[in-house]
Amino acid sequence: MIPVRERAEAKINLSLEVIGLRADGYHDIVTIFQTVDLADSIKATPAESISLAVDDAELDTPSNLATRAAKALRSATRTSAGVRLALAKRIPTAAGLGGGSADAAATLRACARLWAVPLSRARDVASDLGADVTFLIDGGTALGAGRGERLTPIVTPTAYAVIVSPAIRIESKTARAYGSLRRDDFTSGERTHALARELDVGNLTALADAPNAFRRVASDIFPGIDDVQRAFAASGAPWTRLSGAGPSLFTVIADPEHAAAVGRRLTGRVRNATIFVARVTDRGTGVE
């Protein structure tokens, strides 16, 4: 059988509010997810067992989320089929861009195709692997609530994201970021709901006022991140936002030439970081 290939697209959070701590230890959030065409690549080949080869040695472990995704789908569907996965990484790891979740979502789509499993079963499995995985099964632009798994698609803008991913890696980053939040960092989610309504009518300028609950704590957790934000401003970015819990920062620009120019200027101003200019993508663009 011919191998199946899937693109594992990164995500940014156009807005992110944390509502509060839940009884199960997680946090309720309201966010706007957005996929971009910065992507890893998954090749899935039929096999008797489940295995993974990845071009980043640090990620080549049994706990890799792509391997877990394949095993979870096989268990849920009670199939005896296996898969040999080959993962080519491009999305920076632990960067707030959902790289591991994107790989898991792409793996679920690939295995569903190989094993003739309805994509709805892959979506069911995704919810157990993480809220970002649930969103990244389909991608595009969506309002996320609950842990982020309750999704409402909204209109995808025609735009480009300029992303700076600093080479900062913090152990247990997400747990540390959530643990650093104070009560006054929690908000109602209404600003994000209002932004979703503006995006639905094509008002891209409303993104300038979007919140991110982690922006305050990011300055303490990620050394030099404030310098990156100043570099964005000096490079002609209209605004700058943290993606997820960081450390990646981004802006969104409608004009591709303006976006490219900001990316070029940032290249001369930011060190020890990877810079991407990526097109915003709609739902269902991950299939190769």
Residues facing residue 278 across a β-bridge? 161
Catalytic status, residue 60: no
Measuring CA to CA, how many Å separate 268 from each of 259, 272, 275? 15, 11, 11
Only one residue has tokens 């309805």, namely 118
Alpha carbons within 13 A on the beta-carbon side of 256: 4
CA angle 131, 111, 279 (to 5 degrees): 55
Nearest-angstrom CA–CA distance, 141 and 281: 8
Catalytic pick among 103, 132, 138, 173: 132
3-class DSSP state for residue 202? coil
Instruction: Report cis status (omega within 30 of 0) of the bond before 247.
Output: yes
Catalytic status, residue 173: no
Catalytic pick among 11, 40, 138, 173: 11
Nearest-angstrom CA–CA distance, 238 and 219: 20
CA angle 64, 167, 93 (to 5 degrees): 15
Structural contact between residues 127 and 104, judged by C-beta atoms closer than 8 angstroms: no
List active site positions. Answer: 11, 132
